[in-house]
Every structure is written in structure tokens, then in C-alpha cells.
Structure 1
């Protein structure tokens, strides 16, 4: 006895995206908003507070700490697998359709590096300006214990962030929301706003910078139909931030 499949309606598609976001970056946006409220209600100005990222869990036990870090990276990628699985149910080549493959490695690399350069320098300027006017915290981008695996784990964390955000926020959401009948401007702006929202834990500068980045990345994707360059650009930006901070924080006073 066979059961008929329910038709895929606009409401079903949007509900699916809400659920995927609810177990991934949408939940991060809610926690990030609460974290910002907590920081704003402290008796210390926002720009005098520090936001620590990539922190050790058990600094006194490096091997256990390494396990925590690697498990965290793997678990964070589960929503990517979920999003691709859901898309593949409708189109077997969904991963290739969004350009999440190695079919154009050279072109993806060049585009990604150019995009990272276009975002990175203005992003640093925005971060500095937001801190100067009291709208952003100080970002401590890497706080792992100094062991042989510190740099590799930071690089893996950068790759994980890039894959999670670009596959879910761009490749998956753009595909689903366009199929649900949303206009291109609505898709780009809503995705970018959510991207900015899960960076609110950094402050208003983090929100604004990532919102702009989300719009730019969305427009690039609409032009290229490939998330590959976005993953490259995001990875480069995070590697520079994480590894650069880890290597230089003891040598540059403005990093602390």
C-alpha cells in the first residue's frame, strides 16, 4: 500500500527553512541577541567589554580539549548535511547546482580571494570605527591553549564557519525561498539580516558589517550561481582573523 506524498507548497518550503534555521544559525541569532542585551545592561561600556571566540574548554588537558574542539566542528556541520539532504530530495544534483563542489577550483579560488580582499579591509575599518564610538566589543578571536594543534584547529574552525554559513544562508535559503516565490531583493535582505543577527554578540558593528557582507555575498552568488567563491572568501577572512590573532596578540597592544 503506497501513501501519496504531500504537495510541496510555499508554506511547506518556508516552514522547512524556519526549522533548519531553528537548529542552526537562526538559533544562534536568538542567543546572540540575548548576549547583546546582557552586554548592554552591564555597568561597563560595550567597547570596554571583550568577546572571546575559539576558547579552550579544558585548557589543563590538551587532548580532551582537542576532542572538544573537533567534535564541536563536526556537530556544527550537521545542519549543512541536513540542508543538502533536503535539497537533494527535490534535485539529485543540488550540491552541484549551488556550486558547492570542485568543478571550478581555479575560478572559485580567484573569485574568493578577490572577494576576501574587498570585504576584509573595509571590515577592519568598520570594526575600529564601531569600537571607537562605543558600538562594539573588543573581539578576542582565538583563545585556545598554545599546543601543536592550535593553528590547525583554528583553520578547521574557519572552514567550518564558512561552509555552514555559505551553504545554509546562501545556497540552501536562496534555493528554497526563490522556489517559494520570494522576490530576489527579499531573499537577499532577509538572509543578510539573519547573518548580521547571529553576529550581534560582537556588538552593533558586527551586525552591520556582516549584514553588508551578506548582501554582497548574495549578489555574487546570484551572478555566479556558485557558493564555492563565498566559502573561499569566508575561510580566508576567518583564517586571517583567528590565526592572525593567535600569532600576534602577545605582540600588538591594540589586539588585547
Structure 2
């Protein structure tokens, strides 16, 4: 039984030779070796934090930490290896799609065909998401629904900022290609409705951010809903990648620069 092509607004996916069950199973397995596994650890992480003696707002979630602070060259190797290995699921997803279409990266809009328009759209999306996201984080922390997030914790070395920028790009490519480009294609081929695809992807996105707290969950679900809706209109993940990269660069590098200068972060 072949899965029939399913039109989403602005997106018509090609028919797949696989059944809907096979397609969904495939996506579960891809998630299981990538962001789905992160979601499982994130759920366990929030349970550990909720059952700790200290309230959520008194706990700190440290990101981009040093692996060998006393040996900068080894620490750099750890950071670069982590970034490279985190992108393997992206290659896997594109490889899977390439078995049924000629240019999967181009099909999902992961190319440089419209650099200026993609950048402008990315800037607009980053602005729309960024300020409300920061306000939500501060409110959730004030209500004891979120941990204090420390996005950058690398030592003061020459490569710290470049690595934080690379980590931002890696996060953006991994999340937007998998959670939007790949999953939207496969779930549409499986016969899911547009909003079922958008909402399910957004909930998964929120779940692997639960380690930050409930503010991180809600904020990323909202982000996933917006980015998913935009993708169904543009059929391009590049604006999403650019927006996500900008948001993470501001969060990571901005924290590294301002953490010792302001007390509200």
C-alpha cells in the first residue's frame, strides 16, 4: 500500500512507496537517536529538579560547559566533536529522504537559493520570538516555574565565541531540519493533517527543552507552532535556521558578555 501525496498549504509532498505505519516508525527511530532521546533525558531531568529540595528558580541549568577546562586544546576538540556528531542525524534524515527524491535539501529549502529573503525573514522571526521569549523566561523564573539558565559556561579562551557561534548554527540546523523539514515531509506522506503535524512537532520541540523548566517548554512549543506554520507557507527551512541561529547567538554570546555585568540574567 503506497502513501498518497498530501498537500499542505504551500507544500505538496511526493508519494512514498512505504505505508503510513512504516513512515511513522521511521520518524520515531530517527528521533530516538537524536532529539527524541534528548526529550526522554529532559523529562527525567525536570523530574529530578522538581523532586530536589531547592525550588526550580534556585537551580541553575548550565549549557555549553567546558569538558577539560585545564587543557584548552582538548576542550576545543571536545566542543568541535560534539558539534559535528550532533549533526549526524541531519545527514541521516537527508539520506533517508534522498532514497525517494533527488534533492531533499532543496526540497525542504535548505539551500542558498534566496539568501537575502531568507535572512530578512529570519531576522523578522527572531525579533518576533526573541523579546517575548525573554519575557516569558523571566516571568516563569519569577513564578518558580523555570530554572535559571546559564547558556554559556566556557573558559576565557580565544575560541570561546567562535565555538558558541558554531553551537548556535548546529542547534538551528539540527532542530529545524529534523523537526520541520524532515518530520513535516514524512508525517504528511503518512497522511497526517497539517495542524496535527505542526502541533506534534511543536510538542516534541518543547519536550526536549523541559530540562530548563516549564517556561522553556511553553516558549519552545510556541516557537515550534510559529515556525511550523511559516514553513507550510514558504516550504523553506533556511529562514527558520537563520532565525534560530540568531536567537542562540544572542543568548549564548550575549550571556557570555553580560553575565558578570548584570544581575537579572
1:239 to 2:253 alignment: no
Match of 2:145 among 135, 138, 151: 135
In the alignment, what sits opposite 1:147? 157
In structure 2, the residue corresponding to 1:139 is in which secondary structure?
Answer: strand
In the alignment, what sits opposite 1:26? 36
1:66 to 2:73 alignment: no
- Residue by residue over 1:33-87, the C-alpha shift from the partner in whole angstroms, topping out at 9 and shown as x without a partner, is 0000000000000011000000001000000000000000000000000000001
In structure 1, the residue corresponding to 2:249 is in which secondary structure?
Answer: helix
Instruction: Tell me the TM-score normalized by structure 1.
Output: 0.97
- Number of residues of Structure 1 aligned to a counterpart in Structure 2: 250
In structure 1, the residue corresponding to 2:61 is in which secondary structure?
Answer: strand
- Residue by residue over 1:198-246, the C-alpha shift from the partner in whole angstroms, topping out at 9 and shown as x without a partner, is 0000000000000000000000000000000000000000000000000
In the alignment, what sits opposite 1:3? none
Write the distance in 2 (CA, Å) between the matches of 1:10 and 1:236. Answer: 36
In the alignment, what sits opposite 1:81? 91
In the alignment, what sits opposite 1:214? 224
1:180 to 2:198 alignment: no
Match of 2:260 among 234, 244, 250: 250
Deviating 4+ runs (over 4 angstroms)? none
CA RMSD of aligned residues (A): 0.9
In the alignment, what sits opposite 1:46? 56
In the alignment, what sits opposite 1:99? 109
The gaps in structure 2 that reach 5 residues or longer are 1-15
In structure 1, the residue corresponding to 2:264 is in which secondary structure?
Answer: helix
Instruction: Tell me the TM-score normalized by structure 2.
Output: 0.93
Residue 7 of structure 1 deviates from its aligned partner by 4.6
Write the distance in 1 (CA, Å) between the matches of 2:184 and 2:252. Answer: 28
Match of 2:172 among 146, 157, 162: 162
Residue 184 of structure 1 deviates from its aligned partner by 0.5
